[in-house]
Amino acid sequence: METLTKDKLLFTPGPLTTSITVKQAMLRDLGSRDIEFINAVRQVRNALLVMGEVSQAQGYEAVIMQGSGTFGVEAVISSALPKANGHLLVIINGAYGDRIAKMADVHGITKTVLKYAEDQHPPLAEIEASFQQNPTITHVVVVHCETTSGIFNPIKEIGALVKQYGKTYIVDAMSSFGAVPTNIADNQIDFLVSSSNKCIEGVPGFSFTIAQRDALNACKGNARSLSLDLFAQWEGLEQNGQFRFTPPTHTILAFWQAIQEHTAEGGVAGRSARYQSNYNTLVAGMRELGFKEYLAPKKQGYIISSFLYPTHPNFDFKKFYELLNERDFVIYPGKLSQVDCFRIGNIGRITVEDIQGLLVAIEETLVDMQVDLK
Ligand SMILES: *Cc1c(COP(=O)(O)O)cnc(C)c1O
């Protein structure tokens, strides 16, 4: 066990640092038909609805799908869009939005794309104009926290517009769900997708979709893939509480523990408060060291922060990354298309003290590199 506590701290978009108790919950070998496992699946599905502030009585269902988050998004895209007339509007301001557009192409789904710079919110007027120009659009997808930059997109305002025009609304809430309060009904979301290893602080292995039941029923027969058939997956879970194919047993047990720790922390509000403290500490410290943020503060979410590469001639990101890594702090290169950035995540089982430790390590690293930004 000792070595488990000595891992490097992950300040990344995921996988993330998890608690020792979440890791310990995996030290079991439960069969897929074991009642204990089936109960865990049921409890997890119920807890996810609670986290999304909805219930079965209100007409919502939670479906778990094996694989990473991308598998979950692809399950929704390839199951929700009708084969005959499906037409997807993809609203993009980062790499995860781009990925969804690619999914539509792979599955031969008609798509319209609205693409914006990574530091810009999609303008509502342009979404509305797109609905007027393309009346055949049936579904709309947007990313809540675009982890590429850390920008928070206005999912509620977009949702209101999507419903005004009678479309189905899909939200990739991968890096926000569990830490950013999201009432699925109030946001008028038909399919919300997230995964086990982000803000709920489980380990990687599955994604989940919280879906409005009528929208889920409408998926029947649409799937372009056997394994990513969201409707069939739901049907299987409903019929006997089981997955259609080998379930991620250990990951589910870890996730159930993670959910209990999430509840103990005060649920979404508690988790959100810790991440916001992490974010505030990080940004204040980075500014003091002379770093500049990529996003305007009012667009920047508290999940992950992007910082511009300093222009100092001695700054070399690869070296910076490696020196921090040697000090047991793992940060993440940016994936922005136009600007050189690196990212620091505020999520996972990390505290303000960990952020303070990171800031000291960054300060020392700058000295090592002879980079003075002040
Ligand atoms: C992490 C993430 C995903 C899924 O990525 P995987 O590597 O497949 O888990 C999708 N969308 C967003 C916004 C993410 O942050």
Cβ neighbours of residue 234 closer than 8 Å, sequence gap 6 or more? 61, 63, 211, 216
Tell me the per-residue pLDDT of 194-204, one tens digit each, with 9 for 90 and over.
999 999 999 99
Residue in 147, 197, 303 to alter for ligand 1 test, most ligand atoms within 8 A of Cβ: 147
Which is nearest to 236 in space by CA: 53, 27, 75?
A: 75
Q: Is residue 155 part of a domain?
A: yes
Residue 290 has a CB neighbour count (10 Å cut-off) of: 13
Residue 278 near ligand 1, beta carbon < 6 Å: no
The verdict on the CB of residue 17 being under 6 Å from ligand 1 is no
Q: Give the Cα separation of 78 and 224 in Å (integer).
A: 6
Q: Whose CA is nearest to atom 2 of ligand 1?
A: 174
Closest residue to atom 9 of ligand 1, CA basis? 69
Tell me the residue range of the domain where 284 lies.
Answer: 9-14+268-369
Q: Closest Cα partner for 104 from 116, 88, 91? A: 88
Closest-CA residue to 176 (of 161, 163, 189, 164): 189
Among the atoms of ligand 1, which is closest to the Cα of residue 198? 1
Q: Which of 272, 262, 299, 350 is nearest to 117 (CA)?
A: 299
Distance 15 CA to ligand 1 centre (A): 10
Written as one letter, the residue type at 148 is T
Tell me how far the alpha carbon of residue 70 lies from the centroid of ligand 1, in angstroms: 6
Q: Are residues 292 and 350 in the same domain?
A: yes
Residues 249 and 277 in one domain: no
Q: How many domains does the chain have?
A: 2
- State if residue 78 touches ligand 1 by the CB under 6 angstroms criterion: no
Q: Which atom from ligand 1 is nearest to the alpha carbon of 67?
A: 8
Residue 5, pLDDT score: 56
CATH of the domain at 252: 3.40.640.10
Residues 183 and 323 in one domain: no
Tell me, yes or no, whether 357 and 237 share the same domain: no
List the one residue out of 250, 218, 248 whose CA is nearest residue 234: 218
The distance of Cα 298 from the centroid of its chain, to the nearest Å, equals 20
How many A from CA of 172 to the centre of ligand 1? 8
209 within a domain of the structure (yes/no): yes
Whole-number pLDDT of residue 4: 54
Verify that 278 and 346 share a domain, yes or no.
Answer: yes
Decide whether any atom of ligand 1 lies within 6 Å of the 74 Cβ. no
Would the CB of 293 count as within 6 Å of ligand 1? no
Residues 224 and 241 grouped into a single domain: yes
Say if 210 falls within a structural domain: yes
Q: Which ligand 1 atom is nearest residue 197's CA?
A: 9
CA of 326 to the centre of ligand 1 (A): 26
pLDDT at 337: 79
Beta bridge partner(s), residue 193: 172, 209
Task: Kindly state the tokens that stand for 346.
Answer: 């505020």
Q: How many CB atoms within 10 Å of residue 283? A: 20
- 147 within ligand 1 shell (Cβ under 6 A): yes
What residues pair up with 61 in beta bridges, in sequence order? 211
The pLDDT tens digits for 277-290 are 999 999 999 999 99
Residue 111 within any structural domain of the chain? yes
Q: Which of 181, 356, 260 is nearest to 344 (CA)?
A: 356
Within this chain, do residues 178 and 191 fall inside the same structural domain, yes or no? yes
Q: Are residues 143 and 291 in the same domain?
A: no
**190: in domain:** yes
Domain boundary among 263, 284, 300: 263
Q: What is the CATH number of the domain that holds 275?
A: 3.90.1150.10
Instruction: State which of 234, 263, 292 marks the end of a domain.
Output: 263
Using CA atoms, how far apart are residues 26 and 252, in angstroms rounded to an integer?
8
**Among 230, 263, 296, which residue terminates a domain?**
263
Contact 52, 371 (CB under 8 A): no
| Helix/strand/coil for 192 | strand
SS3 string, 142-168, reads EECEECCCCEECCHHHHHHHHHHCCCE
Ligand 1 probe mutation, 149, 174, 194, 343, most atoms within 8 A of CB: 174
Ligand 1 pocket residue status of 96, Cβ below 6 Å: yes
Going by alpha carbons, the residue nearest to atom 4 of ligand 1 is 69
Q: Please report the atom of ligand 1 found closest to the CA of residue 70.
A: 8
Ligand 1 neighbour 118 (Cβ under 6 A): no
Does residue 374 lie in a domain region?
no
Task: pLDDT tens for the chain, 374 residues: list them.
Answer: 445 557 999 999 999 999 999 999 999 999 999 999 999 999 999 999 999 999 999 999 999 999 999 999 999 999 999 999 999 999 999 999 999 999 999 999 999 999 999 999 999 999 999 999 999 999 999 999 999 999 999 999 999 999 999 999 999 999 999 999 999 999 999 999 999 999 999 999 999 999 999 999 999 999 999 999 999 999 999 999 999 999 999 999 999 999 999 999 999 999 999 999 999 999 999 999 999 999 999 999 999 999 999 999 999 999 999 999 999 999 998 778 789 999 999 999 999 999 999 999 999 999 999 999 98
Extract the tokens encoding 303.
């999940």
235 and 286 share a domain?
A: no
Distance 174 CA to ligand 1 centre (A): 6
Task: Identify whether residues 75 and 222 lie together within a single domain.
Answer: yes
The answer to whether position 80 is within a domain reads yes
Statement to judge: residues 203 and 300 lie in one domain: no
- Residue 176, in any domain of the structure: yes
- 252 and 277 inside one domain: no
Q: Which pLDDT does position 338 carry in this prediction?
A: 83
Taking the centre of ligand 1 as the mean of its atom positions, its distance from the CA of residue 290, in whole angstroms, is: 30
Q: What is the DSSP string of 64-76?
A: EEES-HHHHHHHH
DSSP label at residue 115: E
Q: Whose CA is nearest to atom 6 of ligand 1?
A: 69
Ligand 1 centroid–CA 132 distance in Å is 31
Q: What is the DSSP string of 269-336?
A: HHHHHHHHHHHHHHHHHHHHHT--BSS-TTTB-SSEEEEEPP--TT--HHHHHHHHHHTTEE-EE---
**pTM for this model (two decimals):** 0.97
